[in-house]
Amino acid sequence: MNAKQTVAVFGAYGHTGRFVVAELRDRGFVPLLLGRDAGRLQALAASHPGLAYRVASVDDPASLDRALQGAAAVVNCAGPFASTAGPVIEAALRSGIPYVDVAAEIEANVDTFTQFADRAKAAGVAVVPAMAFFGGLGDLLVTTAMGDWTAADEAHVAYGLNSWHPTAGTRVSGTVSRERRDGRRVRYTGGRLEYFVDERALPTLDWDFPAPMGTRPVLGEFTMADVVTVPSHLSIPEVRTYMAIEAARDLAAADTPAPAAVDELGRSAQTFTVDVIVRSGDTQRRVVASGQDIYAVSAPLAVEAVRRILDGRMRASGVASAGEMFDAPDFLRALSGYLSVEAHEASAQFA
């Protein structure tokens, strides 16, 4: 890999985009700052002397084509991805460069798989959606837990966030997803994504997270992007995700402030534990990841994906999730400076 390869970051001045820009610089890449707001791009470039910026809009394909000139890959950090993913993928296909995004929107990720799978494969362009905390990390953990299994009965992904201070982008993306669902809930059951109406509150259960987190109440049917990424390549008919109640309450509250930096890296005080259990018959396998700040950790996930695509360490072509595109256990080991990942004893949760 050329240590000076240029990687375009669309939405570079957003909360996660700034983490991605910093991570690219730390890895020896040259970030190219893209977005529609010239003033914010100029301000970001001033804080990173030597970096170029280009104004581009998803409503102007020619501007995207110009913006991607000379880039080896593009990372899309600009939500809502229902609006941005399609146009930026189209531009990446025209330019013949890999595309990675950090989308947590279930519907936007479904669109990427359904609308671009054939075209991306025919063009020989790697497209990796949801290469972030939600969707990407869970998929890597489930794939790692599967090991030599070719199929499993169930996969469970429990998110133990001690808090959740959502960014403005998270709130907007959530609104777009709710509008697309038109009041319906979504789950992955019976081998398919199912939309349904249920006026009852989400079910609550106690989840036995490993120490030091311990047993915490979580919301069941709190469905995240893992229900798209995991089944895209693994034979698991039931994929369920759960969210710690305290984090869900933060997200739901209109007055919860945005994340605030507490260290020199710009990370918030938020900590997380992602507890993954896969079950096949009477046998369970369990892998757990823990770390700090779900937005900050999305940056090394996305940048590691770019690095592996550009140096040829891929296991799939076209549109593929993290667990299918890469060697999942090796990918997670490469993030040891950002994540603690351990196999644990099988849980009694689903015995």
CATH number at residue 25: 3.40.50.720
The SS3 call for residue 197 is coil
Please check whether residue 349 lies inside any domain of the structure: no
- 104-116 pLDDT, tens digit per residue, is 999 999 999 999 9
Q: Do 217 and 306 belong to one domain? A: no
Model confidence at 4, in pLDDT bands (50, 70, 90)? confident
Please check whether residue 104 lies inside any domain of the structure: yes
Domain housing 186:
133-295+337-344
Model confidence at 345, in pLDDT bands (50, 70, 90)? confident
Alpha helices in 151-257 (DSSP H): 168-181, 226-229, 245-252
Q: Do 302 and 174 belong to one domain? A: no
What's the mean pLDDT in 331-351?
88
State residue 237 phi and psi, 5-degree precision: -75, -20
What pLDDT does 347 receive? 72
Q: Do 93 and 164 belong to one domain? A: no
In whole angstroms, give the CA distance from residue 312 to residue 173.
32
- 138-173 pLDDT, tens digit per residue, is 999 999 999 999 999 999 999 999 999 999 999 999
Q: Do 271 and 171 belong to one domain? A: yes
What's the mean pLDDT in 276-286?
97
State residue 154 phi and psi, 5-degree precision: -150, 150
What's the mean pLDDT in 230-256?
98
Q: Do 94 and 182 belong to one domain? A: no
Please check whether residue 330 lies inside any domain of the structure: no
Q: Do 144 and 277 belong to one domain? A: yes
A 10 A CB-CB count for 224 gives 21
Query: How far, rounded to the nearest angstrom, does the alpha carbon of residue 110 sit from its chain's CA centroid?
Result: 13
Q: Do 115 and 148 belong to one domain? A: no
Q: Do 164 and 278 belong to one domain? A: yes
Compute the CA torsion angle 103, 326, 332, 213 (nearest 10 deg).
50
What pLDDT does 346 receive? 77
Please check whether residue 115 lies inside any domain of the structure: yes
Q: Is the pLDDT of residue 2 over 60?
A: no
DSSP string, 87-112: HHHHHHHHHT--EEE----HHHHHHH
Tell the burial category of 44 from Cβ atoms under 10 Å away from its Cβ (0-12, 13-18, 19+): buried
Model confidence at 3, in pLDDT bands (50, 70, 90)? low
Please check whether residue 160 lies inside any domain of the structure: yes
> Is 0.95 topped by the overall pTM?
yes
- 175-234 pLDDT, tens digit per residue, is 999 999 998 999 999 999 999 999 999 999 999 999 899 999 999 999 999 999 999 999
Q: Do 39 and 69 belong to one domain? A: yes
Contact present, 34 and 14 (Cβ < 8 Å): no
Please check whether residue 210 lies inside any domain of the structure: yes
State residue 174 phi and psi, 5-degree precision: -65, -40
CA distances from 127 to 89, 241, 309 (A): 8, 24, 10
Residues with Cβ within 8 Å of residue 293, at least 6 apart in sequence = 259, 267, 268, 270, 272
Q: Do 173 and 320 belong to one domain? A: no
**CA dihedral sign, ordered 12, 13, 16, 18:** positive
Model confidence at 1, in pLDDT bands (50, 70, 90)? very low
What pLDDT does 349 receive? 73
CATH number at residue 158: 3.30.360
What's the mean pLDDT in 37-52?
97
Q: Is the pLDDT of residue 30 over 80?
A: yes
Q: Do 50 and 141 belong to one domain? A: no
Q: Is the pLDDT of residue 249 over 90?
A: yes
State residue 206 phi and psi, 5-degree precision: -90, 135
Please check whether residue 1 lies inside any domain of the structure: no
- If you count them, how many residues does the chain have? 351
**CA dihedral sign, ordered 228, 231, 237, 238:** negative
What pLDDT does 29 receive? 98
% of the chain surpassing 90 pLDDT: 96
- 54-63 pLDDT, tens digit per residue, is 999 999 999 9
In whole angstroms, give the CA distance from residue 12 to residue 51.
12
Tokens encoding 224 = 């995240």
Tokens encoding 285 = 């396998």
Residues with Cβ within 8 Å of residue 341, at least 6 apart in sequence = 141, 144, 287, 288, 289, 332, 333, 335
Total tally of structural domains belonging to the chain = 2
Q: Do 217 and 137 belong to one domain? A: yes
Please check whether residue 332 lies inside any domain of the structure: no
